[in-house]
Chains A and B, each alone.
Chain A
Amino acid sequence: MDQFVPAPLFGGDVIHWWTPTNVTLWMAIAVLSIAALFVLGTRGRAVVPTRTQSVAELMYGFIYKMVEDVAGKDAVKFFPYIFTLFLFILFANFLALIPMSFSTTSHLAVTGVMALAVFLTVIIVGFVKHGVGFLKLFWLTSAPPVMRPVLAVLEFILFFARPVSHSVRLFGAIMAGHAVVKVFAGFAQITAAAPLAIVGVTAIYGLEMLVAGIQAYVFTILTCVYLKDALHPHH
């Protein structure tokens, strides 16, 4: 579990809120990677894109279409916000797969803040756009009238469970994956099991590549779904 321990970069034991730690380092690397892809990669502004530029454009188009399809046309103004979350999670997930790196998205503090940010955005946008009408989200008019209060309570609980599942999903997937790799790597200490362990680590590593992409995708698409609730609470 020591791969998950945040440690100060320049010595010392105390972690103040401003201390540069390995968290800072790997987040900075993520920022630099994103900047390299999206600023250096697109500096040609070529109509016929280079390879790097077309990767950036593909990601742009992919998320743009997702926001438009899932959350609706009027959600496009939240696109930079959603794209920021997506890129950060995607790059942090993939950078975390580099051996000896620090996986920032395997921390509840990180995923929790992002999930809470989405949750608060949804609530604020919902109330600003629809006022009290936003509460109709919990009142399912398609259900039989008798069931509606019960369903409203359930929906209310589910609504508040959203940030929890939203954050714990990402944190759990990344942390569990890395822990499993570590466990398999631990088996390699036993000489007899070492070949199997190495095959296992390779296989799990491949699975983790998949998980890294899928978790970023799922976090983003759920953000879009929640945002749709805020923009169109009447289903």
Chain B
Amino acid sequence: MATEPTGGEEAATGLPQLDFSTFPNQIFWLLVTLVVIYLILDRIALPRIASVLAERQGTITNDIAAAEELKMKAAEAEKAYEKALADARAEAQEIAAKARAEIQEDLDAAIAKADAEIAARSAESEKKIAEIREGADAAVVEVAKDTAAALVAALGGTGSAAAIESAVERKTKG
């Protein structure tokens, strides 16, 4: 500051930044400040942030792994579901087939039974018809015998009962 531009007092014109009398003060307080900031950061803030970031990274990794696992589980569950579905479908088919077979069997049995019954009934009926027919034949013979006897009597003939009978029998059988 040998020649002041305007020759005035130093503080008014000189640059405050080049006023070396304040340097020790500024440097001292700067060093204090920097050391304090450094200690705050190094001891408290940075480890904390680093741990938080690491924790977050870990959480994210874990979550991704968990998601992967869940996805795998979901795939497994889907597979199991599909298997169960296929099983169920097969079982249903089996059951249906069995039911169908049973029904068929029942039906067959019922039909057979019905057929047998029908056959029995028709046999019986035939037998009855035959009986009736036989009965009727016998009755006819009887009636013929009676009629013949009555006719013979009415005509004034006399014939032995045995002769009439044999004659009627001859006629009816012929």
B81 located at the interface, meaning its Cβ lies under 8 Å from any Cβ of chain A in the complex: no
Whether B46 lies near A83 (C-beta < 8 A) is yes
A203 located at the interface, meaning its Cβ lies under 8 Å from any Cβ of chain B in the complex: no
B36 located at the interface, meaning its Cβ lies under 8 Å from any Cβ of chain A in the complex: yes
Whether A107 lies near B25 (C-beta < 8 A) is no
Whether B26 lies near A39 (C-beta < 8 A) is no
A residues 1-26 with Cβ under 8 Å of B?
A: 1-2, 4-6, 15-19, 21, 23-24
Whether A17 lies near B25 (C-beta < 8 A) is yes
Given A15-B25, A17-B25, A31-B37, A171:B17 Cβ within 8 A: yes
CB nearest neighbor in A for B40: A35
| Per-position binary interface string of chain B over residues 23-63, scored 1 when its CB falls under 8 Å from any chain A CB and 0 otherwise | 11111111111101110111011101111110110010000
Whether B17 lies near A175 (C-beta < 8 A) is yes
| Per-position binary interface string of chain B over residues 1-29, scored 1 when its CB falls under 8 Å from any chain A CB and 0 otherwise | 00000000001000111110111111111
Given A38-B41, A39-B40, A80-B42, A108:B17 Cβ within 8 A: yes
B residues 70-105 with Cβ under 8 Å of A?
A: none
Summarize B's interface: helix, strand, loop or mixed: helix
Whether A113 lies near B49 (C-beta < 8 A) is no
Residues in B whose Cβ lies below 8 Å from that of A28:
33
A46 located at the interface, meaning its Cβ lies under 8 Å from any Cβ of chain B in the complex: yes
Residues in B whose Cβ lies below 8 Å from that of A56:
45, 49
Whether B26 lies near A4 (C-beta < 8 A) is no
CB nearest neighbor in A for B18: A108
Whether A109 lies near B37 (C-beta < 8 A) is no
Whether A109 lies near B52 (C-beta < 8 A) is no
CB nearest neighbor in A for B32: A27
**Chain B residues near A (Cβ < 8 Å):** 11, 15-19, 21-34, 36-38, 40-42, 44-46, 48-53, 55-56, 59
Sample 13 A-B pairs with CB under 8 A, ordered by A number. A6-B22, A15-B22, A18-B28, A19-B25, A27-B32, A31-B40, A34-B37, A38-B44, A38-B49, A42-B45, A83-B46, A107-B26, A114-B34
Known interface pairs A38-B44, A47-B55; 17 further A-B residue pairs with C-beta atoms within 8 A, sorted by A's residue number: A4-B15, A5-B11, A23-B30, A31-B40, A34-B41, A35-B40, A39-B44, A49-B52, A60-B46, A60-B49, A80-B41, A83-B41, A83-B46, A88-B34, A104-B30, A110-B30, A113-B31
